[in-house]
Structure 1
Amino acid sequence: MTHTLHIVGGGMAGSEAAWQAAQAGVRVVLHEMRPKIGTFAHQTGNYAEMVCSNSFRSDDDEQNAVGLLHWEMRAADGLLIAMADAHSLPAGGALAVDRDAFSEAVTARLRAHPLISFEEDEITQLPRDGHWIFATGPLTSDALAQAIRAETGTEALAFFDAIAPIVHFDTIDQSKAWFQSRYDKGDTEAERKAYLNCAMDRDQYEAFIDAILAAPKAEFHEGETAGYFDGCLPIEVMAERGRETLRFGPMKPIGLTNPHNPDQKAHAVVQLRRDNALGTLFNIVGFQTKMKHGAQTEVFRMIPGLENAGFARLGGIHRNTFLNSPTLLDTQMRLKSQPNLRFAGQITGVEGYVESAAMGLVAGRLAAAEILGRPLCAPPRETAMGALIAHITGDADAKTFQPMNVNFGLFPPIDAKGGRRGRKDRYKAYTDRAKQNFTAWLG
């Protein structure tokens, strides 16, 4: 039996899986096709490159399921959460990072590990021998996707992810924009001013919606249909669902006061969040889009304060491929038809950077334990990681399976013990139980 673990894909899941397995004493070969072979969304050859957002979302580990996932990753010596903490940016109650510094730090730590080696190559087949983890993410290459379909005997499901544009800070009109987190949330001044806001009155908002609806959109290839994940809807899809949808979504004006015009309540507000430590780049929050690039510059410059905006990156769209995991994977995240292969990350049907990294963490530990002859069960389903694994490997309905963020709806219900709990108490009970169970699993 070989004692080397091969990991395909150097994204969130693959990077974390490599770290966990190597820390357990297993030799790891990390295969990554970038930068030799690029993708639509990636810009570098670094590991754990963030392409859609720079946010790990809420860091509240008592009232939020993704915050609990952060806690579990920290408890398990997660590399990605440690590097996120080391390169965090002010973002209210969220954990946002300097994406370049983050991926560079992850890359440096992986390359410095004595048990990790690297191959810059594209894996196009599913190996029959050895221990492998496939963590190729939403941009799995066509050749590998075909090999997976050939092995599983099923068509890969797909939806479309859209990425948000990034603006150069020095091109934003500060006489119109202002810094403020919603409801001034945050413990420090920097956190209370983590977002840059651009207000619209009713007429400006209505004209903006008209422009979004009229803008030319990216075309789909023949035979492809769009099935978007609700947490990452393009703004034009939201606008098509109703003219007020954006105003009750990413453009909601509540909890914000424009100091340039404090007596007039904004009809809608566009928020931008700092995208790097230098504060030179800001991404437009929730503005994923499939509008064509020329139209994007025209439409987004209608936003007050962004009339002369310079864009470091415009939005785009790409196909996201994932497995029907409830039918294909066992509780060890192994392919049932070929158990020497594990899958991890977004290709398994979890959604989000944090969830992807967490599934890589578990897959790396499970694979290392198997190689070392110390079989390990998946985390208890009462934990955030365990709830995700239970969902993708059996709890979800295979007929309607779609990517899922971590949420308390995936957890086994809490016993009310004779009385009905309020939501705050219930969520605290979920996190207390999860921490206790996760600590025991680690031990």
Structure 2
Amino acid sequence: MKVPQINIIGAGLACTEAAYQLARRGFQVNLYESKRITKNPVQKQDNFAELVCSNSLRSDSLTNGVGLLKEEMLAFDSLIIKAAYASRVPAGGALAVDRQQFSTYITTWLTKHPNITIIDQEVTEIDPTVLTIIASGPLTTPKLQDKIQKLLGAKYFYFYDAAAPIITKESIDFQKVYYKSRYDKGTSKDYINCPMTKAELERWGQELIAAKTVALHDFEKEIYFEGCMPVEVMAKRSMQTLLFGPLKPVGLEKPNGERPYAVVQLRQDNAIDTLYNLVGFQTNLKFSEQKRIITMIPGLENANIIRYGVIHKNNFINSPVLLNQFLQLKTHQNIFFAGQIIGVEGYVESAATGIISALNIAKFSEQKELLEFPPETMMGALVNYIINASSTNFQPMKANFGIIPSFDEHFKTKADKYLAYSNRALAKLTKFFNFVENSWWNKKIINMTIWKIILFKIMILL
């Protein structure tokens, strides 16, 4: 039987993980990467899986969403996580790495594998009849951008990431806020409203205007579209700009009939009703400043921000419209996507989707049933979020417990609850292994119990 060939476009975290997963299962992989020919504005190395921002893969604890995600990835013998532990540097409870060692580890493995052909070339054509994973990253080359646009439709491919902060519902003080849609359109619980008095708005607005912003790269210094103008820019124009914009109080009377001077609206952000985004709050403020400004809003004093607002040059697709639960393009079934381009945020999240996409394109090539990860796992929850999020207000998401189905029972502490989430996820993942027929997975990994997964991690650390 002829071994299927699979094209992978890009050699970032998602692509290198996908190439590894496919190669070790016997598939022939063509890995396309243009950085050795011409680099984008943030690339410095010739090695693959380059970490261009932080050198941290964030928390290593099972009481943190990304810590759980790492554990799940270890069950698949993740190249990215193995490379991270092999190049680890001291960083307290975080998994931080030596960038050069990390990328060298990954590049060396891929270069030496007989099933991987590395092609130093910019992709300028996408053939929808060829099995392909596209994970070209947040700064896709202009020619490839054009081809992806033509493949997907221009309105589904974004060039500027203007995202509002997202908070957990459980951190909202419902003694100070109320449910209401403007003019009572839709259902009564479409929005949560945080009312402000004139004095509260003026004090808050002064702090917003004075807050520190993030310095943009030269290639990001573009004129803001009116539709995604940072909230701090609106405030600097005038308070009236806010009152006729995202803080407009008209049609949002309180339950007692009183109209507040201003209203900050929160919109439901996920299907399981655990996350809410701040409507119209695209921002370029530093994260610490966002925390300070948001917690000044009545009802949000204890806001748990699980995704901060950003405005920067980026490429991502409208995944809720375009992809199914297997990260497969609905309109062209030979094409799969992975990485930041699908709307996940973070190094680990990008690599995790590389695993999901690789396993499913492999199954698809063999005409076998594709794999839908349990929503209780972090890998499954990420996919569940990006394909079920609002298609008109889609914003990238990182690993967090807010996107996982909640428990009905009460826990004494958040740490207890999050550990319970992790234990449930790892148990579900073990069962998921066992229910997959004709899998390529190593039986030792299939039969791992939760404690064996943890032992596997300890062995890597040693």
Q: Where does residue 424 of structure 2 map in the other structure?
A: 433
Q: Where does residue 359 of structure 1 map in the other structure?
A: 353
* 1:8 pairs with 2:25: no
* 1:52 pairs with 2:53: yes
Q: Where does residue 394 of structure 2 map in the other structure?
A: 401
Q: Where does residue 105 of structure 2 map in the other structure?
A: 105
* CA spacing shift, 1:73–1:239, aligned 2, 3 Å: closer
Q: Where does residue 87 of structure 1 map in the other structure?
A: 87
* CA spacing shift, 1:235–1:85, aligned 2, 3 Å: farther
Q: Where does residue 22 of structure 1 map in the other structure?
A: 23
Q: Where does residue 343 of structure 2 map in the other structure?
A: 349
The correspondence for 2:286, drawn from 216, 233, 238, is 238
* CA spacing shift, 1:38–1:431, aligned 2, 3 Å: same
Deviation at 1:216, TM superposition (A): 9.8
Q: Deviations over 1:81-128 (max 9, x none)?
A: 001001101111000000111001100011111111111111122212
The correspondence for 1:376, drawn from 364, 370, 373, is 370
Residues in 2 aligned to 1:214 and 1:91: alpha-carbon distance in whole angstroms: 24
- Asked if structure 1 preserves the Cα contact closer than 8 Å seen for 2:212 and 2:285, the reply is no
Deviation at 1:412, TM superposition (A): 1.2
* CA spacing shift, 1:426–1:11, aligned 2, 3 Å: same
Q: Deviations over 1:218-238 (max 9, x none)?
A: 57335757678x9xx999723
Residues in 1 aligned to 2:51 and 2:102: alpha-carbon distance in whole angstroms: 9
Residues in 2 aligned to 1:146 and 1:212: alpha-carbon distance in whole angstroms: 35
Q: Where does residue 460 of structure 2 map in the other structure?
A: none
* CA spacing shift, 1:236–1:151, aligned 2, 3 Å: closer
- Asked if structure 2 preserves the Cα contact closer than 8 Å seen for 1:40 and 1:318, the reply is no
* CA spacing shift, 1:217–1:407, aligned 2, 3 Å: closer
Residues in 1 aligned to 2:426 and 2:214: alpha-carbon distance in whole angstroms: 49
Residues in 2 aligned to 1:240 and 1:346: alpha-carbon distance in whole angstroms: 24
The correspondence for 1:334, drawn from 290, 303, 328, is 328
- Asked if structure 1 preserves the Cα contact closer than 8 Å seen for 2:11 and 2:48, the reply is yes
The correspondence for 1:414, drawn from 398, 407, 419, is 407
Residues in 2 aligned to 1:139 and 1:215: alpha-carbon distance in whole angstroms: 18
Alignment of 1:41-440 (within 5 A): 41-61=42-62, 63-155=63-155, 156-159=157-160, 218=218, 220-221=221-222, 237-238=285-286, 319-393=313-387, 395-416=388-409, 419=410, 422-440=413-431
- Asked if structure 1 preserves the Cα contact closer than 8 Å seen for 2:8 and 2:132, the reply is yes
Q: Deviations over 1:311-357 (max 9, x none)?
A: xxxxxx96111001000001111111111100000000000000000
Residues in 1 aligned to 2:214 and 2:11: alpha-carbon distance in whole angstroms: 39
Residues in 2 aligned to 1:216 and 1:380: alpha-carbon distance in whole angstroms: 38
* CA spacing shift, 1:365–1:413, aligned 2, 3 Å: same
Q: Partner of 2:326: helix, strand, or coil?
A: coil
Q: Deviations over 1:49-93 (max 9, x none)?
A: 0001100000002x1110000101111100010010011011110
Deviation at 1:386, TM superposition (A): 0.4
Q: Partner of 1:43: helix, strand, or coil?
A: coil
Q: Deviations over 1:194-232 (max 9, x none)?
A: xxxxxxxxxxxxxxx98967999857335757678x9xx
Identity %: 39
Residues in 2 aligned to 1:437 and 1:365: alpha-carbon distance in whole angstroms: 18
- Asked if structure 1 preserves the Cα contact closer than 8 Å seen for 2:10 and 2:137, the reply is yes
Q: Partner of 1:334: helix, strand, or coil?
A: coil
Q: Partner of 2:7: helix, strand, or coil?
A: strand
Residues in 2 aligned to 1:58 and 1:326: alpha-carbon distance in whole angstroms: 28
Residues in 1 aligned to 2:95 and 2:108: alpha-carbon distance in whole angstroms: 21
**Runs of 5+ in structure 1 lacking a partner?**
162-208, 249-287, 290-316
Q: Partner of 1:139: helix, strand, or coil?
A: coil
Deviation at 1:152, TM superposition (A): 1.9
Deviation at 1:369, TM superposition (A): 2.1
Deviation at 1:429, TM superposition (A): 1.5
Question: Could you tell me which amino acid in structure 1 is paired with residue 415 of structure 2?
Answer: K
Question: Could you tell me which amino acid in structure 1 is paired with residue 152 of structure 2?
Answer: T
Question: Could you tell me which amino acid in structure 1 is paired with residue 422 of structure 2?
Answer: T
Deviation at 1:409, TM superposition (A): 1.1
Q: Where does residue 167 of structure 1 map in the other structure?
A: none
Question: Could you tell me which amino acid in structure 2 is paired with residue 336 of structure 1?
Answer: K
- Asked if structure 2 preserves the Cα contact closer than 8 Å seen for 1:22 and 1:116, the reply is yes
Question: Could you tell me which amino acid in structure 1 is paired with residue 398 of structure 2?
Answer: N
**Runs of 5+ in structure 2 lacking a partner?**
163-208, 231-276, 297-308, 434-445, 447-462
Residues in 2 aligned to 1:215 and 1:375: alpha-carbon distance in whole angstroms: 47
- Asked if structure 2 preserves the Cα contact closer than 8 Å seen for 1:212 and 1:239, the reply is no
Q: Partner of 2:370: helix, strand, or coil?
A: coil
Question: Could you tell me which amino acid in structure 1 is paired with residue 70 of structure 2?
Answer: H
Residues in 2 aligned to 1:378 and 1:398: alpha-carbon distance in whole angstroms: 21
Deviation at 1:144, TM superposition (A): 1.5
RMSD: 3.4
